[in-house]
Amino acid sequence: GENVEQHPSTLSVQEGDSAVIKCTYSDSASNYFPWYKQELGKRPQLIIDIRSNVGEKKDQRIAVTLNKTAKHFSLHITETQPEDSAVYFCAASCKGAGNQFYFGTGTSLTVIP
């Protein structure tokens, strides 16, 4: 099955700086890669996703890049704000095969005011 690895496990940045979280996956059949943000005690919320037919997607301060050859994808948050502090999870799935998500182990991001 799919194996998703995520780094770093914790990340602290100064407010206004950028944050980058990286994930790798093992199954070349995976073709959909969502990112979820989870605040303490809350549900995971989808913040951005990318499909395998594109290499980059941007939504305001958040961007995701995908390198299919290397089987890795990254989340980039620019101009970080204290409210960006949360745990971020990457995931990979093979659409058409039930859309089961394989999640990474999470990155705890702290934005220091």
Partner 1 sequence: GAGVSQTPSNKVTEKGKYVELRCDPISGHTALYWYRQSLGQGPEFLIYFQGTGAADDSGLPNDRFFAVRPEGSVSTLKIQRTERGDSAVYLCASSLSGGGYTFGSGTRLTVV
Segment interacting with partner 1, rule: CB under 8 A, options 13-21, 61-69, 73-81, 88-96: 88-96
Angstrom distances, CA of residue 5 to CA of 9, 19, 78, 82, 107: 10, 17, 23, 26, 11
Establish if 96 lies at the interface with partner 1 (CB under 8 A): yes
Instruction: Tell me the closest approach of the beta carbon of residue 41 to partner 1, in angstroms.
Output: 9
User: Nearest approach, Cβ of 25 to partner 1 (angstroms)?
Assistant: 13
Site string for partner 1, 25-64 (x = CB under 8 A): ---------x-x-----xxxxx--x---------------
| 8-state DSSP, 84 | G
By CB under 8 A, tell whether 100 contacts partner 1. yes
Distance CA 57, CA 81 (A): 20
Q: Which C-beta is closer to partner 1: that of 59 or that of 79? A: 59
Q: How far apart are CA 4 and CA 14, in angstroms?
A: 28
- Quick one: 9 or 12, whose CB is closer to partner 1? 9
What contacts 69, CB < 8 A, 6 or more positions away?
none
